[in-house]
Amino acid sequence: MITNKNITLFVSGSIAVYKSLSLARIFIKNGNHVQVVMTKAAQKFITPLVFQSLTKDKVITNEFSTGEPDKIIHISIADSTDIAVVAPATANIISKMANGLADDVVSTTLLATKVPIFIVPAMNPKMLNNPATQRNLNFLVKNGDFIMDPANGFLAEGYQGKGRMPEPEDIFQWIDKKVNHPGNQPLLHKKIIVTAGGTRENIDPVRYITNRSSGKMGFAVAQAASNQGADVTLIAANTTLPVNNKKIDFIPVSTTQEMFEAVSKKFVNSDGLIMAAAISDFRPETIADKKIKKQPGQDTWTLKLIKNPDIIKTVGKTKRKDQFLVGFAAETNDLLANANKKISEKNLDMIVANDVSNPKIGFGSDENQVTFIFKDGNQQRTKKLSKVKIAEELIHAISKKILKVKDE
């Protein structure tokens, strides 16, 4: 059962707010501390004093209600929260969460909250089924939040329908199952590093050497790993892709050396590394501090390159038995031969062989077709799928073949 947690209960304006009192009581009875944060509309249904009497803690109703000038209240609450629960969640607060609006203490605190958010919608079926509400809910799921399915029953409007806030005990059991018994999350609490994008090596202040990687594959892998419960660190080079999952720790880098330093620092305390980034093998020996000018009569330009650190090979030398390494082989020829060679050379548990000579898949594309090659020689070729699906298959393969997680 959920116990010994700091739970923030966000209460928005719905007739179902009375059920939030029982929910808070259940949390407290199981040994948790509950901090209640209320919207103005919620206070029209139940006064903060009722929650305060129940929780034995001050209810937060606005940014200036704490009397503690040394604290920025919405940040302080967000930082101290282990589990965030929005119950009841109206269409209004759901819309604010999905669109990043922050115009009161509830929405500002939720925007700053990094821990899992459990959302319990409660509204009329017509509002629930509105395309805008469904779009917002779908976005929040993709963002890593949890949405509880509303209950069917008698509504305040006087007729039956789906939109009721579920019973408090059912809400508690639902949250407890997600937190403590996530059977569908085989990577729960695994610390996994994912790299993405293509590194750049500066020639002068305006020129650089790079590659065609968009970062799409690495971002999809990071999201798939997070969906399976992993604590993901995404180290990405030179990509404009958004990180929509607030549970993912995002570290932007530019050069191979910067990525090497970031990966080396994080790998020590990780369970594994998935190296999806396209790394520049070489960099200019010297970087000009001013733009290099073409000289009169100059028809050629010789650029001397030196070798960059081989990131995955380097960390492979320090890999513990309880860590795993997954590499990517982006090749234009002799795909499987080159990929197999890298497994032994770099102490990999698995490599994803990717034929980037096909313009319809690979770099920049939304689709891909790859072959998973394991260190025991087994191979698994995927169909041509979206990179999101490829990422899901990769994470599943890592769970079953490397981490030996059994299906429940």
Q: What structural domains and CATH numbers belong to the chain?
A: 6-180 (3.40.50.1950), 191-402 (3.40.50.10300)
The DSSP call for residue 293 is P
Helix, strand or coil, per DSSP, at residue 92 = helix
Kindly report the backbone phi and psi dihedral angles of residue 341, in degrees, each rounded to the nearest multiple of 5, phi listed first. Answer: -65, -40
305 confidence band (pLDDT: 50, 70, 90) = very high
* Residue 161: pLDDT over 70: yes
* Residue 183: pLDDT over 70: no
Is there a contact between 230 and 192 (Cβ–Cβ < 8 Å)? yes
155 confidence band (pLDDT: 50, 70, 90) = confident
Q: Which two tokens stand for residue 110?
A: 């939720």
Whole-number Å distance between alpha carbons of 335 and 326: 16
Whole-number Å distance between alpha carbons of 237 and 248: 16
Condensed to tens digits (0 to 9), the pLDDT of residues 82-136 reads: 999 999 999 999 999 999 999 999 999 999 998 879 999 999 999 999 999 999 9
* Residue 237: pLDDT over 90: yes
pLDDT of residue 408: 46
**Identity of the amino acid at 2:** I
* Residue 185: pLDDT over 80: no
Question: Cβ-count burial of 238 within 10 angstroms (0-12 exposed, 13-18 middle, 19+ buried)?
Answer: buried
Taking all residues of the chain, what is their mean pLDDT, rounded to a whole number? 90
Average pLDDT for 211-229: 90
- DSSP per residue over 245-313, as a string? -TTSEEEEE-SHHHHHHHHHHHHTT-SEEEE-SB--SEEESS--SSPPPPPTT-------EEEPP-HHH
* Residue 180: pLDDT over 80: no
Taking the CA atoms of 312, 315, 319 and 324 in sequence, report the sign of the dihedral they define.
negative
Whole-number Å distance between alpha carbons of 344 and 312: 12
> Among residues 136, 143, 202, 211, which one is catalytic?
211
Q: Which residues pair with 193 in a beta bridge?
A: 233, 273
Condensed to tens digits (0 to 9), the pLDDT of residues 343-379 reads: 989 999 999 988 767 666 666 677 888 999 998 888 8
Q: Which residues pair with 330 in a beta bridge?
A: 354
Rounded-to-5 percentages of helix, strand, coil across the chain: 35, 25, 40
211: annotated active-site residue: yes
Q: Residues 288, 293, 299, 301: what is their CA dihedral angle, to the nearest 10 degrees?
A: 10
Q: Which residues pair with 249 in a beta bridge?
A: 233
* Residue 1: pLDDT over 90: no
Whole-number Å distance between alpha carbons of 379 and 370: 10
Q: Which residue has the higher pLDDT, 362 or 296?
A: 296
The DSSP call for residue 398 is I
